[in-house]
Amino acid sequence: MSKLKEEINKRKTFAIISHPDAGKTTLTEKLLLFGGAIQTAGAVKSNKIKKSATSDFMEIEKQRGISVATSVMGFNYKGLKINLLDTPGHKDFAEDTYRTLTAVDSVVLIIDCVNGVETQTEKLMNVCRMRNTPVIVFINKLDREGQDPFTLLDEIEEKLSINVRPLSWPINIGDRFKGVYNIFNSSLNLFQVNKTNIEEDRVEITDLKDSALEDYVGKEDADQLREDIELIEGVYEPFNKEEYLKGNLAPVFFGSALNNFGVQELLDSFIGIAPSPKPTHTDVREIIPTENKLSGFVFKIHANLDPKHRDRIAFFKICSGVFERNKFYHHVRNEKKVRFSNPTSFMAQDKSVIDQAFPGDVIGLYDTGSFKIGDTLTEGEDMTFKGIPSFSPEIFRELINKDPMKSKQLEKGISQLTDEGVAQMFIQQPGNRKIIGVVGELQFEVIQYRLQHEYGASCDFQHRNFHKACWMTSDDKDKIEEFVRRKSSYIAYDKDENPVFLAESAFLLRQAEMDYPEIKFHTTSEFKV
């Protein structure tokens, strides 16, 4: 087997997604703990981070106890290289999560057993379904009083439109929670409150009829477990790996991430079934990971990852070939040759310089401003990867400079933050007015905070009453020019200088579509790809 193929087979690249407060950052930490990447875990409690979670490294995240930036973490486990992308849980940062899902081969979806499937969970699942991404479900917080496990499974099937198959099963719930039975390998994991390190207390129970089960969990719970497992085997189809890989079947695990419980079952099964790097689509052709020539794309940009150094890092997903330090690559959009002397791998904010990276890896490229989200690097071929769009924002505000002496800092700051994808910026004339569009209110708070603390610039936001930002295409360029001329007070330009129609209401957007049938109005920028 070639070295490239061998390296590809070792890699599993996945994201953890969930509704806010379902325990995503906690599960991320516990996976790193089992992977030996960290020694003890910091507990995340009621929006106050006692000892800041490994993956929450931005100051505002530490203060609010939420993840607002996607972190990339790599660790080794049982001879495999696991690349874990932790996504923002907060709905206001959904766009960052959608883009991150373009860079992974599979997903672990966390559901809180108390609240079940929530609206944000459904939206995230829709994005997975668009790409047929394989999904594993982890039902968390079993040590709290929550819903009946069978009810939760029904809710997942109904609301997320996916078949499920439990591969582990809880023994009771809440105060009476005694552990998890691993259906996949017939072992029993007895529950202990244990928040910071790994202790194993597993019992092999090859036959549930074995009376030893009663010694461990008591007669009542042993009988209930036997009954539940019999019901599961009768109701659910046996686990089918092919159906999982197609995105049609979700294996389900139960546990308590805070107490390190059920996490190892999840991780061990994950490495057994999750896919290695898969082919990806471009506007020209499908890219196979084993191709010798490098290709990949930027799905995220983060400025000032290290507050002591004003750095800007592009997160680059390798799709094929081998990335090599100091080698020249073709920047497709800029039509320039670029090379990188310090490409880095990540362990949350700890970075280390690497000489090589392989398909499935996400690396950090120090950037002086030449990258935008969606940019492609190749060894000469001109192509662009699909599925990394900007979505039309839902809230629009005009950026007001509070300190004219700091205009340059504000310009630089807002330009870099919008390059990162924190928000979108539309420039409106006359007056070079900057309209900032976001998915949720919290983004404005983050922008204000970061402009102040990272660039020394202060700003206000003035509400602008727009319904949607629409990109426009037409076979008849004159029609777009005419539309732009006639609707000039509702036209702005995005970062690539494409005209965008800022429609004030759904009615006015429909009216424009009727008046200009030759023009297509798009609510995502995907058409540019």
pLDDT digits (tens, 9 = 90+) for 322-351: 999 999 999 999 899 999 998 888 654 456
Q: Which of the two residues, 192 and 319, has the higher pLDDT score?
A: 319
pLDDT at residue 392 is higher than 90: no
Contact (Cβ atoms closer than 8 angstroms) between residue 374 and residue 289:
no
Same-domain check for residues 202 and 228? yes
pLDDT score recorded for residue 484: 92
CATH of the domain at 347: 3.40.50.300
340 lies in the same domain as 474: no
Top mean pLDDT of 57-66, 178-187, 426-435 is at: 426-435
Quote the CA–CA distance of 25 and 33 in Å, as a whole number.
12
Q: Is 385 part of any domain? A: no
Which amino acid is it at 492?
A
Q: How high is the pLDDT of residue 492?
A: 94
> pLDDT tens, 53-82?
545 545 555 555 444 444 678 888 999 999
In a domain, 518, yes or no: yes
**Which tens digit of pLDDT belongs to each residue from 438-465?**
877 878 888 898 898 888 999 999 999 9
CA distance 382 to 333: 9
Residue of 191, 198, 188 whose CA lies nearest to 176: 191
Helix (H, G, I), strand (E, B) or coil at 446: helix
235 part of a folded domain: yes
Cβ proximity of 179 and 189 under 8 Å: yes
Residue 350 sits in the same domain as residue 406:
no
| Predicted local distance difference test score (pLDDT) of residue 50 | 39
Judge whether 244 and 132 are in contact, CB under 8 Å.
Answer: no
CA pair distance 124, 67, nearest whole angstrom = 16
Considering 322, 348, 378, which residue would you say is the last residue of a domain?
Answer: 378
- Give 358-391 pLDDT, tens digit per residue: 999 999 898 877 888 889 999 989 998 876 666 7
Do 119 and 22 touch, CB atoms closer than 8 A? no
Query: Under DSSP, is residue 514 helix (H, G, I), strand (E, B) or coil?
Result: helix
Closest CA to 31 of 69, 78, 70: 78
For residues 233 and 322, membership in a common domain is answered with no
Taking the C-alpha atoms of residue 19 and residue 331, their distance in angstroms, rounded to an integer, is: 36
Band (142; pLDDT cuts 50, 70, 90): confident
Residue 197 corresponds to which amino acid?
N
Instruction: Give the Cα separation of 521 and 529 in Å (integer).
Output: 15
Residue 387 lies in a domain: no
Q: What is the pLDDT of residue 383?
A: 92
Looking at the structure, tell me whether residues 173 and 80 fall in a common domain: yes
Q: How far apart, in Å, are the Cα atoms of 271 and each of 146, 274, 280, 291?
A: 28, 6, 21, 24
Task: Tell me the residue length of the chain.
Answer: 529
Q: Is residue 320 part of a domain?
A: yes
Which pLDDT does position 441 carry in this prediction?
A: 80
Looking at residue 44, what is its pLDDT? Answer: 36
Peptide bond into 430 cis (omega under 30): yes
Q: Are residues 191 and 220 in the same domain?
A: yes
Write the CB contacts of 22 (distance below 8 Å, at least 6 apart in sequence): 89, 110, 111, 112, 115, 121, 140, 141
Residue 85 binned pLDDT confidence (cut-offs 50, 70, 90): confident
- 205 pLDDT band, cuts 50/70/90, is low
- Of all residues in the chain, the percent with pLDDT exceeding 70 is 83
Neighbour-count burial of 413, counting CB atoms closer than 10 A to its CB (0-12 exposed, 13-18 middle, 19+ buried): buried
Co-location of 104 and 131 in the same domain: yes
What pLDDT sits at residue 75?
84
Separation between Cα atoms, residue 325 and residue 352, nearest integer Å? 13
Domain count, the chain: 3
Based on the fold, state whether residues 45 and 63 are members of the same structural domain: yes
Which of 204, 238, 273 represents a domain boundary (last residue)? 273
The residue ranges of DSSP E strands in 19-166, in sequence order, are 44-45, 48-49, 71-77, 80-86, 106-112, 135-140, 163-166
Q: Once rounded to an integer, what is the mean pLDDT over residues 130-148?
A: 89
Q: Where are the alpha helices (DSSP H) in 335-490?
A: 407-419, 442-455, 477-486
Q: Which residue's structure tokens are 């001329």?
A: 485
Who has greater pLDDT, 502 or 386? 502
438 and 370 inside one domain: no
- List, in order, residues 6 or more apart from 269 with CB less than 8 Å away: 136, 167, 184, 251, 253
Q: Tell me, what's the pLDDT at 292?
A: 93
Higher pLDDT, 168 or 174: 168
Q: How many helices (H) and strands (E) does the chain have?
A: 14, 33
Cβ contact 77:34 at 8 Å: yes
90/216 same-domain check: yes
The pLDDT value recorded for residue 416 is 81
Structure tokens, 126: 């829709």
Please give the DSSP secondary-structure letter assigned to residue 441: T
Torsion over CA: 290, 293, 298, 302 (sign)? positive
* Local confidence band at 432 (pLDDT 50, 70, 90 cut-offs): confident
Find the distance separating the first CA and the last CA of the chain, reported in whole Å. 35
* pLDDT given at position 61: 53
The more confidently predicted of residues 63 and 290 is 290
Task: Please determine, for residue 201, whether its predicted confidence score (pLDDT) is greater than 60.
Answer: no
Is 384 a member of any domain? no
- Confidence bin at 320 (pLDDT 50/70/90): very high
- Sole residue written with tokens 């057993």: 113
State the pairing for strand pair 135-140/106-112: parallel
- Residue 408 is part of a domain; what is its CATH number? 3.30.70.3280
Cβ neighbour number for residue 148 with a 10 Å cutoff: 10
Mean pLDDT of the chain: 82
Asked if residue 389 is part of any domain, the answer here is no
Specify the higher pLDDT residue, 308 or 261: 261
| Residue of higher predicted confidence among 423 and 7 | 7
d(CA 261, CA 143): 10
Q: Indicate whether 211 belongs to any domain.
A: yes
Task: Lowest mean pLDDT of 107-111, 135-139, 218-222, 292-296, name the range.
Answer: 218-222
| 84-88, 245-249, 453-457: least confident range | 84-88
The CA radius of gyration of the chain, in Å to the nearest whole number, is 25
Mean pLDDT of the 463-474 span: 91
Per the CB < 8 A criterion, the answer to whether 72 and 96 are in contact is no
Shared domain check, 269 and 346? no
Spatial separation of the C-alpha atoms in residues 487 and 474, rounded to whole Å? 16
pLDDT of residue 213: 77
Domain that residue 104 falls in: 3-273
User: Is residue 208 scored above 50 in pLDDT?
Assistant: yes
Closest CA to 529 of 337, 332, 331, 369: 332
* Domain-ending residue, one of 378, 404, 423: 378
Quick count: other Cβ atoms within 10 Å of Cβ 266? 25
Do 485 and 460 belong to one domain? Answer: yes
- HEC per residue, 117-128: CCHHHHHHHHHH
Query: Higher pLDDT residue, 307 or 76?
Result: 76
